[in-house]
Structure 1
Amino acid sequence: MSSVPRPLDTAPLRIAITGASGRMGRMLIETVLNAPDCQLSAALDRDGSPSLGQDAGAFLGRHTGVAITSDVRAGLSQSDVLIDFTRPEGTLAHLALCAELGVRTVIGTTGFTDEEKAHIARFAEQAAVVMAPNMSVGVNLVLKLLESAAKALAEGYDIEIVEAHHRHKVDAPSGTALKMGEVIADALGRDLKACAVYGREGVTGERDPSTIGFATVRGGDIIGDHTVLFAGIGERIEISHKASSRATFAQGSLRAARFLAGQRTGLFDMNAVLGLA
């Protein structure tokens, strides 16, 4: 039986972080520790992680009193909001506990199937969820620009989406690139599943003007670059976003967590958080 989400009308907001020893997890922990209206309530990591038992702020030379643990239930029982940037299977397991315990959730994980997204929507009926493929404020503003650009450039322009990420990213194209494609396809009245082209090789023939192309680059420590190219005759328009630090995703996640403080149930995106809906 699920718990009723706790009313969050007093500070500080108690936030749990998953993947506490990873790159994004550490950035989230640092951001929460530096936010005067937030409190790090739990730092969660997988069984077998060499970081288990360590203070969550040790990498910063800070003592927080919060030890990294794999006991998700115990961590969530002391938390108001969970911020999760892991992998789909882990996020879904965490979300089931959040729904049971009445803990709101910010999901930055990507790579969900349509069926898994449907599961998330059902969990959101029990405790509020913000889910977005990219928590950056800038990226979400770009999505609004792409909607306008696609409508204005609906005829005579070929659309290509190019994204680049670090060598450790496991899904492709990125969730952000796919969201960009969805926004553009919706604006044009198309179905992305029917018009997307994810790779070209050999003799492909002339480009079908109704398609939306995707190109993926993986290498080094690239945080995240996305460019949408509208290529016409005699001109091309490029709308780009380049992330130079994971701090932008962490700051956006905290904005989402603060937004959830005013919500008990429901599934929201960053448009709702930023008032762009």
Structure 2
Amino acid sequence: MSDQPIRLLIHGASGRMGRALLRLCEGRDDCRAVAAVARRVDQRVIDGVPHFAAAELHGVPAFDVAVDFSLPDGLDRLLALCVQRGAALVSGTTGLSDEQQLALTSAAERIPVLWAANYSLGVAVLDELVERAARALGDWDCDIVEAHHVHKQDAPSGTALALGESARRAGAAPRYASLRAGDIVGEHTVQFSGIGERIELVHRATSRDIFARGALAAAVRLTRQGPGRYGLRELLFADPG
């Protein structure tokens, strides 16, 4: 494997996550941003990284993996470009349609694909704990409560739905509640309630940097894989050798 850093395309570069990815990428030796894409571009080069408007997507330079934190309506063209160029895709865009999820699975026959609702290492561990608890407590009530900032559009959050799917696979029937308030980065509580006792599994994020760090780590690892659709847990916690 080459010792050269992998080349990243940051898609959704003007958003909170996009800005965090660009900033944190500067401090890593294993990857570098070669292009950033946003809906509109006011400055062509920022900190040495060329910026492209979404309409100019096909003009971006060669890249090894695209890291996407945008909106659902921007994913289709990016996915097509990744397939065309044989590049991997890491996406954290939530609110995707069933058709878009199927398109990701279809593209995975040709390129490595990772979609996750949350790239926090702590949430990846939480997801595993939820599945184990649901399997052991199949007759208990399962409730998932999530809180985010007022600008988050989808509810329940993609992370809550992903946690709920892990619980459902293990035999639980999750219910959801959502709160949008202030500048909350992200909080998820999965509660299992029985007669006379209750278990709460909680994750609180205080900085978006945790999601950007996880996405960058996932991007580096994904470029070492062959075509396929991967899960965050298996990718981040697998033996890197």
TM bucket, shorter chain: over 0.9
Determine the structure 2 residue equivalent to 1:183.
Answer: 166
- Residue type of the alignment partner of 1:42: A
Determine the structure 1 residue equivalent to 2:43.
Answer: 53
Determine the structure 1 residue equivalent to 2:185.
Answer: 223
1:87 offset after TM fit, Å? 1.4
Q: Please give the alpha-carbon distance, in whole angstroms, between the structure 2 residues aligned to 1:139 and 1:276.
A: 16
1:241 offset after TM fit, Å? 0.6
Determine the structure 2 residue equivalent to 1:3.
Answer: none
Q: Please give the alpha-carbon distance, in whole angstroms, between the structure 1 residues aligned to 2:92 and 2:165.
A: 17
Q: Please give the alpha-carbon distance, in whole angstroms, between the structure 1 residues aligned to 2:43 and 2:21.
A: 18
1:170 offset after TM fit, Å? 1.2
Moved more, 27-36 or 267-276: 267-276
Is the counterpart of residue 245 in structure 1 residue 235 in structure 2?
A: no
* 1:2-39 Cα shifts (integer Å, max 9, x gaps): xxxxxx63311111111212111100101111111211
Determine the structure 1 residue equivalent to 2:17.
Answer: 24
Q: Please give the alpha-carbon distance, in whole angstroms, between the structure 2 residues aligned to 1:52 and 1:92.
A: 24
- Residue type of the alignment partner of 1:266: G
Q: Please give the alpha-carbon distance, in whole angstroms, between the structure 2 residues aligned to 1:124 and 1:219.
A: 37
Which of 87, 112, 134 does residue 128 from structure 1 map onto? 112
Asked if 2 retains the 8 angstrom alpha-carbon contact of 1:52 and 1:69, the reply is: no
Q: Please give the alpha-carbon distance, in whole angstroms, between the structure 2 residues aligned to 1:9 and 1:98.
A: 21
Which of 204, 216, 223 does residue 254 from structure 1 map onto? 216
Determine the structure 2 residue equivalent to 1:162.
Answer: 145
Determine the structure 2 residue equivalent to 1:72.
Answer: 57
- Residue type of the alignment partner of 1:274: L
1:81 offset after TM fit, Å? 0.8
Q: TM-score, normalised by structure 2?
A: 0.93
1:69 offset after TM fit, Å? 1.3
Number of equivalent positions:
237
1:93 offset after TM fit, Å? 1.6
Which of 124, 129, 132 does residue 140 from structure 1 map onto? 124
- Residue type of the alignment partner of 1:41: V
Q: Please give the alpha-carbon distance, in whole angstroms, between the structure 2 residues aligned to 1:151 and 1:219.
A: 33
1:273 offset after TM fit, Å? 1.1
* 1:170-204 Cα shifts (integer Å, max 9, x gaps): 1111111001111011101x6xxxxxxxxxxxxxx
Determine the structure 2 residue equivalent to 1:106.
Answer: 90
1:104 offset after TM fit, Å? 0.8
1:54 offset after TM fit, Å? 4.2
Q: TM-score, normalised by structure 1?
A: 0.81
Asked if 2 retains the 8 angstrom alpha-carbon contact of 1:15 and 1:81, the reply is: yes
Where do 1:82-101 residues align within 5 Å? Answer: 82-101=66-85
Asked if 2 retains the 8 angstrom alpha-carbon contact of 1:14 and 1:80, the reply is: yes
Which of 1 and 2 has greater Rg?
1
1:264 offset after TM fit, Å? 3.3
1:229 offset after TM fit, Å? 0.8
Q: Please give the alpha-carbon distance, in whole angstroms, between the structure 1 residues aligned to 2:217 and 2:233.
A: 12
Q: Please give the alpha-carbon distance, in whole angstroms, between the structure 2 residues aligned to 1:145 and 1:213.
A: 17
Q: Please give the alpha-carbon distance, in whole angstroms, between the structure 2 residues aligned to 1:31 and 1:179.
A: 26
- Residue type of the alignment partner of 2:149: H
- Residue type of the alignment partner of 2:130: L
Asked if 2 retains the 8 angstrom alpha-carbon contact of 1:129 and 1:266, the reply is: yes
Asked if 2 retains the 8 angstrom alpha-carbon contact of 1:172 and 1:216, the reply is: yes
1:125 offset after TM fit, Å? 1.5
Q: Please give the alpha-carbon distance, in whole angstroms, between the structure 2 residues aligned to 1:276 and 1:11.
A: 22
Structure 1 stretches lacking a partner, 5+ long: 1-7, 57-62, 191-210
- The 3-state SS of whatever aligns with 1:67 is strand
- The 3-state SS of whatever aligns with 1:237 is strand
Q: Please give the alpha-carbon distance, in whole angstroms, between the structure 2 residues aligned to 1:245 and 1:138.
A: 13
Asked if 2 retains the 8 angstrom alpha-carbon contact of 1:53 and 1:69, the reply is: no
Asked if 2 retains the 8 angstrom alpha-carbon contact of 1:102 and 1:127, the reply is: yes
* 1:141-163 Cα shifts (integer Å, max 9, x gaps): 101101111112112x2111000
1:53 offset after TM fit, Å? 2.3
Asked if 2 retains the 8 angstrom alpha-carbon contact of 1:33 and 1:39, the reply is: yes
Where do 1:2-13 residues align within 5 Å? Answer: 9-13=2-6
Structure 2 stretches lacking a partner, 5+ long: none
